[in-house]
Amino acid sequence: MPESDAALLTEAVLAAGKLALRYWRKIPKSWEKPDGTGPVTEADIAVNDLLLAALSKARPAYGWLSEETPDGPARLLQTHCFILDPIDGTRAFMAGEEHFAVSLAVADQGLVTAAVVYLPVLDLLYAATADGPALRNGHPIHCSTRAALDGATLLASRPALAPEHWRIPPPVKRAFRASLAYRLCLVADGSFDTMLTLRDTWEWDVAAGMLIAQRAGAVVSDRHGAALAFNRERPQVAGVMTAPPALHQALLGHLA
């Protein structure tokens, strides 16, 4: 059994990715969640159950916060907590697209200390620890050095650029990926300059990607510019904005 949390997460996420691929493009059973938060498939549940069994056995004292497990107050009593999305980008997964991810993190007293994001189809593994570099398939990565908004590449949904959100519309080039965790990693490795979501966002969507982006040199905040904290009673953050330091300030200055 791996001794470090980082090794444990890596081992678990690779196994989870193999399981997810057994369902990919096989038309898995799916249904809408009763709370109206979107679809879920049998693959989401299978991956969640695999991770719950493996991680709980390895770290029985850790709390558990997953999109596909009913939440409860027990995790709030634990110093450490697993925070995960078994399949981030479920709609993309159901459509047979490649850009879905398994997102897995450990938080210690609200701060993420180890994180992995794995894209099984692309065999891309992003990872970071609180005191180490951000890695993609074992190699260090860094965010872009762009400081100016004009012409910057932004990962965001179309509604995020609606005029009512901005004092000055940002002159950016917008693109989109379904997985929030992957968006954060694409900023971390410099593929895109920035990412943004203005909606309240579940912790499991961003906990792992946040640490990876931070360790790659990016600033990660909520939509108001405040730092993110995790394993809270209501596990949501007030949107997410990620960019190199100067670009982050510029983007924040344009928001209404």
Three-class secondary structure of residue 109 per DSSP? coil
pLDDT at 33: 87
DSSP bridge pairs for 115: 105, 128
Give the torsion through C-alpha atoms of 20, 233, 231, 73, to 10 deg: -70
The fold of 153-254 is D-Maltodextrin-Binding Protein; domain 2 (3.40.190)
Domain with CATH 3.40.190.80 in the chain: 153-254
pLDDT at 1: 39
pLDDT at 37: 77
Q: Which residues of the chain have pLDDT under 70?
A: 1-3
Query: 119, 129 in Cβ contact below 8 A?
Result: no
User: What are phi and psi for residue 237, nearest 5 degrees?
Assistant: -120, 155
Spatial distance between the Cα atoms of 244 and 242, rounded to a whole number of angstroms = 7
Domain with CATH 3.30.540.10 in the chain: 5-140
Query: 134, 237 in Cβ contact below 8 A?
Result: no
Is the pTM of the predicted complex or chain greater than 0.75? yes
pLDDT at 34: 83
Spatial distance between the Cα atoms of 37 and 33, rounded to a whole number of angstroms = 6
Give the class (CATH, top level) of 5-140: alpha beta
pLDDT at 2: 58
